[in-house]
Amino acid sequence: MLETGPIERFEKVGNYASYCRAVSTQWISNGKSKGKGNKKNGNKYLCWAFSEAAEFARRYDNKARAVASSLLMGDPLFFLAKIPSY
């Protein structure tokens, strides 16, 4: 994607996820909120594109729909049981 630029500039996957605004900016330690990061850091267009792609997948793909419904029902580990281990 042209919005990302050279992917090598991101040392870790988490750095790219943060750049795409796909992770929370809240800092938590021992279950207590320790502050908030800058919500406007990153690329707003990548954030929009990934959220649209996720919604499209939820709408038209049965596996993505199952994952989304399990997350909405409060069982985030439901779909992990279906992933084969290698």
pLDDT at 58 over 70: yes
pLDDT at 79 over 60: no
Task: Read off the pLDDT band of 17 (50, 70, 90).
Answer: confident
What's the domain count of the chain? Answer: 1
State how far the alpha carbon of 19 is from the alpha carbons of 4, 66, 69, 73, in Å. 9, 27, 26, 28
Q: Is residue 2 part of a domain?
A: no
> Residue 23's closest CA among 55, 52, 46?
46
Range of the structural domain that residue 70 is part of: 7-82
pLDDT at 53: 87
Q: Is residue 38 part of a domain?
A: yes
Q: Is residue 1 part of a domain?
A: no
